[in-house]
Structure 1
């Protein structure tokens, strides 16, 4: 019986062996000798950024780098060994090395791990892998000696190696790699599997950093993908340590600038060793951006704004001021020719570049909105080009201080629309608002207006882009800030509606102001501002670069006013500079030839008496602004600027800035003087 059972078992064993070796032997042999392949991607330089004249604003600088490509199934002990060898040849930054990273490096050594495990109980050694490692970390703290500087370098290198995924390449050192380090590492590559010499690409700025805050920044390989967009980038095929644009133009045009990574097919045999590596695609650098901005003019405008604002800060006039901002646009196309700004650091009493303040900071702009108010009234039909005279009598409301203009009461009995713009009459604008709101006015009594007065005026202002996003090709743009339409009792804030009519209520960005004056200059078309004129390929030869796309001017809207209405307002803006009334408000620009049209603004605003303390008391300040287009007859540029929260305006910084900006443009572009020009010219139309 026993012999029979042994015979049966032996027969079954022979049969199974025959099945494995004879019937399926070839397939098992193929599986043993099989190999797998994967595609490894390599980095490429990002696209470059040029100004409108072809000057390089952002280029790529190639830096020597030491890289590590993590092989499949590589162990912690193997990486620790490589890190120890490499640490004898290079220096690495250990300033951010944590205690946990030091412990991970210590436990990667087999001898150290055995020593630590001897301290653990049998019960602890039977824990799951994750729980066991936590126990090992606690035990390692008791026995790990203080690491030497070389060991800390090795720990930092090990951390980068261990953080990499299979077949991904990480930078072990990409900045400050010396020629000696390159030579030593290159000589000993065979003793450090996975380590190699490579190239890292970083941005450089050959013509300065005056537009750095607009151009934006790119993450480092250490920072990698931003956490708030990690999933989206990974879905698009990015690696965690890829460099990406993190702000403004670099972020807005990431898909254009990033380029196409190189692709190498790596084959791994059954022993998890790389058997071949074949480059299938060399990759291509990112495409280039060509901006609308002339860097020479941009630097000049930045210098002008900085000069006058620094003077105001030094004199104490800007002790409570947030900053100063300016935008220059082509009114016919919407192309941004310059945008700059400076932010006031109150603690240090210094100013720093902040061009982005032109799209993400809002201010109550003052009288610069008056041309829009007049055009809205013309569109609404409450005045016409032939019938627009209004009494210039102050408005007396019950329980409210008298509402008047900046000049003496009684200086004028009545005003036309052009004359009201010339001398910047608040009374005229308030009376327009009262007409639009069908107000029933009696001196020293309460004022009643239509409930839609705010929405009506804001709709007309919005036709020019005031209070709405302009659509500029930059992320982070904000809308305007609207004041309350009703008071704390729920009643319509009619006094605030009157304030809105002359620009002393809602807040706008400087870019919105530029879009607005451009709309007036080009006879009523609101253009979308843009910074990128075209995109070209990354060919090394500038002559052979092909244009991939060109930004076409885009009309965002057309105001409802007629050409005759626009001409009336343009004439009023011309008279603010060249009129005969001694109370005209922008006479400082009348020496510019060809002549310009403009409108200045002053708003009564408030700021904290101590800008560093949000709980400090509020004090009254003055915000000054200005809009202009030049030359007035055939506008090539539209200018908008603002300086908020000044304690005094003795220097008239807004008109001084505008004067120098326009003069610089005339000089840079060789604008010929008008031989028939004189400061007494009476019209710019026709």
Structure 2
């Protein structure tokens, strides 16, 4: 019995010694090995879903944001019966044939549906279907739907910018994928969210004003419907800085519902891409050039009594027959005959020089994709009739943004500005990464611009072609355009297809906004003064109230109107 007790004690001592030895070995010799193993089990790398940067209007209102949604996937090889597919069909659209085909090929991964609503994903996850899982993904959302869709653009399913600002500034908006380390327990349950914050792209602040954009789109939509037009364009810009305040196209689309787009042409930003012959709005180039070169004075007279002028055997007529007109009346009444006579005095070389000065035939450089340069032939390629056609806006191809920029030269005192949409880019921490710089070039004198402003005011007054653009209490300066469309089938200008336009600025003497309205293929009427000028008036009336711009007749009511500075043109009103 005593021997057994001694043997038992020896055995226990050996066991304890072994344990102590092992513990010592683990603590002092193999410590790092076990520490590394524990670390692997206690921490886990988790992918961070990057969020695309937001797009804000000039007042900080959201135009595009990123939401978090879930994408569902399935392991086709785990499919055991059609029952799984039938269950899923009650929640989402399921391509049963594709799943079966992939199952037969032993494919282990297949998307069921990308970016579904969180509530739907939760219901499917609660079913705990074998082989079905989900991962969080970012999803783009446009709070205002159709509003400014051609400016903002959209992204594809993988959040890559495809159109508009989303495409132009994709590298700034997107964020690179990353991962973070989180703590987990023995069962793999997450104990902490890790140390890194969410990864987010840079935010973009644009010059567009949501309120002005809404006004512009509302009246453009009404006009296109009223005249049963094929399309319409309206652009509003600060003529001094080049900031685009609003830009709209019709037809339009909702970037939240791209699957409903049947005609891909609907996403085209016509304001920058569609070329057209501008007609009489182009007469500003000839008129300004003649004044700047000292060839004419406002009171210089031109005999337009014949109602037509013959250029190389071709008769070019006025819409209405006039008598003897002064230079300013030629523009006010939009006389083709008078304009051509002025162009002939100027000469084709000088005319071409000023066409290029005004930026026609080249891109404006606006920071949106798809802009076209337009087309103006060099003088060596002009035909005998070109000196008659080009001054009145034929044989040239322009975009709406180019015409608006040309009129801004007159509005701002002679400077050709570069239009832009993005004013600032900020990092997720609020640091300014980019700030727009106003770019402009002096191309005509202030004196010439002042004379042209006064002449363009007469266009909207009695005797002018755009009386329907006149505003109560405010002076409007501008010009109508009515151009026949060229028919390539007949090789002649169409008798029933027109481009009707009006471009101008307001208030005429202290412009706050410059705007162009272009209506393609209106039915029932086609003159720019009838079709486009009323749209300009309606938009301007509401925009002036929205911007709180005092009327031109405020002086009569005992108010003194001044501007804080030339950069932001903020109105300061005080009692006289």
TM range (shorter): 0.7 to 0.9
Correspondence for 2:475: 595
Deviations 1:346-376 (A, max 9, x none): xx9x9x9767111111111111111221112
Given that residues 411 and 505 in structure 2 are in contact (C-alpha distance below 8 angstroms), is that contact kept between their aligned partners in structure 1? yes
In the TM superposition, 1:502-521 aligns within 5 A as 502-521=392-411
The partner residue of 2:313 within 399, 412, 416 is: 399
Q: CA deviation at 1:281?
A: 4.8
Q: CA deviation at 1:339?
A: 0.8
Task: Indicate the SS of the match to 1:179.
Answer: helix
Question: What RMSD in Å do the two structures reach over aligned CA positions?
Answer: 4.1
Correspondence for 2:217: 302
Distance 1:588 1:283, change over 3 A: same
Given that residues 499 and 520 in structure 2 are in contact (C-alpha distance below 8 angstroms), is that contact kept between their aligned partners in structure 1? yes
In the TM superposition, 1:384-463 aligns within 5 A as 384-385=296-297, 388-392=300-304, 394-397=308-311, 399-400=313-314, 402-408=315-321, 411-413=322-324, 415-437=325-347, 453=348, 456-463=350-357
Rounded to whole Å, the distance in 2 between the matches of 1:98 and 1:218 is 29
Q: Where does structure 1 lack aligned partners over 5 or more consecutive residues?
A: 1-28, 69-78, 109-154, 161-170, 222-242, 267-276, 438-452, 540-544, 679-686
In the TM superposition, 1:289-328 aligns within 5 A as 289-313=204-228, 318=229, 322-328=230-236
User: Does residue 558 of the first structure (1) align with residue 495 of the second (2)?
Assistant: no
User: Does residue 643 of the first structure (1) align with residue 519 of the second (2)?
Assistant: yes
Given that residues 597 and 630 in structure 1 are in contact (C-alpha distance below 8 angstroms), is that contact kept between their aligned partners in structure 2? yes
Given that residues 468 and 530 in structure 2 are in contact (C-alpha distance below 8 angstroms), is that contact kept between their aligned partners in structure 1? no
Rounded to whole Å, the distance in 2 between the matches of 1:675 and 1:520 is 22
Task: Indicate the SS of the match to 2:109.
Answer: helix
Q: CA deviation at 1:436?
A: 2.8
Q: CA deviation at 1:554?
A: 1.6
User: Does residue 245 of the first structure (1) align with residue 186 of the second (2)?
Assistant: no
In the TM superposition, 1:229-240 aligns within 5 A as none
Given that residues 607 and 619 in structure 1 are in contact (C-alpha distance below 8 angstroms), is that contact kept between their aligned partners in structure 2? no
Task: Indicate the SS of the match to 1:298.
Answer: helix
Q: CA deviation at 1:549?
A: 2.8
Correspondence for 2:568: none
Rounded to whole Å, the distance in 2 between the matches of 1:404 and 1:80 is 74
Task: Indicate the SS of the match to 1:54.
Answer: coil
Rounded to whole Å, the distance in 2 between the matches of 1:670 and 1:107 is 67
In the TM superposition, 1:114-129 aligns within 5 A as none
TM-score (norm 2): 0.75
Q: CA deviation at 1:81?
A: 4.5
Distance 1:616 1:590, change over 3 A: closer
Task: Indicate the SS of the match to 1:181.
Answer: helix
Correspondence for 2:122: 179
Rounded to whole Å, the distance in 1 between the matches of 2:394 and 2:555 is 35
Rounded to whole Å, the distance in 1 between the matches of 2:472 and 2:362 is 32
Q: State the number of aligned residues.
A: 496
In the TM superposition, 1:139-288 aligns within 5 A as 158-160=109-111, 173-176=114-117, 177-185=120-128, 197-221=134-158, 243-264=159-180, 281-288=196-203
Distance 1:65 1:615, change over 3 A: farther
Q: CA deviation at 1:522?
A: 0.6
Given that residues 263 and 280 in structure 1 are in contact (C-alpha distance below 8 angstroms), is that contact kept between their aligned partners in structure 2? no
Correspondence for 2:21: none
Say which structure is richer in strand.
Answer: 2
The partner residue of 2:388 within 498, 504, 522 is: 498
The partner residue of 1:527 within 414, 417, 438 is: 417
Q: Where does structure 2 lack aligned partners over 5 or more consecutive residues?
A: 1-32, 183-191, 254-260, 557-576
Q: CA deviation at 1:546?
A: 4.5
Task: Indicate the SS of the match to 1:396.
Answer: strand
The partner residue of 1:537 within 427, 436, 440 is: 427
Correspondence for 1:63: 69
